[in-house]
Structures are given as C-alpha cells and as structure tokens.
Amino acid sequence: MRGVQAEPADAALHAVAAAAFLRQLRVTGQTELAYAVRDHSLAARRDTRFHRLALRLLAETCLLQDRPVEARETLESLVALGVTEPETLALLAGAARHCHDRQPPGA
C-alpha cells in the first residue's frame, strides 16, 4: 500500500486498497483487516466517483463480520442511490433474510 502512503489524498488509491484488504479479509478471515477496509473505504467515499464502491465494500465487510443489520442498511442506501446490480440486490436480499425481514428489498 505504498501508493496510499505517498498520495494519502488520492481516493482512487484508497478504493483499490479497500478492495485489496477486503479480498484478504475474505481469504484469511483476519478481523483486523476489516478496520483497514473501513478506513480506506471511508477515505475513498469522499470522492463522488467512488462513493458507491465504498458503500458496497463497507456492506460486504459488515457481512463478513456477521453484522447483517448494518450491511442491510448500507445496501439499502445503495439501492436508494439507484444501484440495481444483481450482485448488490442479492446481497441485500441475503442480509434482509438474515435479519428475518419478510418484506422483499425495495418494497
């Protein structure tokens, strides 16, 4: 993550770093990586080009940490922004189901 250290204000580098840490979190399950994903996602989110990506990364991190309510709320905010990607909608449906919501997302 040398690029982020050299250019701390570069949102694109923070987005890439967040995605890389999320992948490592998926592979290793090391919970301390979730903090790195969160930090870099929040930094990337400041740039409107990466706002939606940052929310998606934060939601996936919440799911990996077994925090479905927070994941659902984050995914709902993505849908409210107009995101209709099947993967995002599937994650939202899964998070809602995990929270025992009977109402389908967006209803």
Given this model, what pLDDT does residue 9 score? 77
Whether 105 is in a domain gets the answer: no
Per-residue pLDDT of the chain in tens (107 residues, 90 and over written 9): 554 555 667 899 999 999 999 999 999 999 999 999 999 999 999 999 999 999 999 999 999 999 999 999 999 999 999 999 999 999 999 999 988 765 555 55
The answer to the question of residue 104 being in a domain is no
Phi, psi of 31 (to 5 degrees): -65, -25
Would you state the pLDDT for residue 10?
Answer: 86
pTM of this structure: 0.83
Please answer whether residues 41 and 57 qualify as being in contact, where contact means their C-beta atoms are separated by less than 8 angstroms. Answer: yes
Burial class (CB in 10 A: 0-12, 13-18, 19+), 73: middle
Output the DSSP codes for 33-77: HHHHHHHHHHHHHTSGGGHHHHHHHHHHHHHHTT-HHHHHHHHHH
Total of domains in the chain: 1
Label residue 29 exposed, middle or buried (CB < 10 Å: 0-12, 13-18, 19+). exposed
Ramachandran sector of residue 100 (left: φ over 0; alpha: ψ -120 to 50; beta: rest) = left
Is residue 12 within 8 Å of residue 50, measured between CB atoms? yes
Tokens of 58: 């934060």
Query: Is 58 part of a structural domain of the chain?
Result: yes
Check which CATH number belongs to the domain holding 22 and give it: 1.25.40
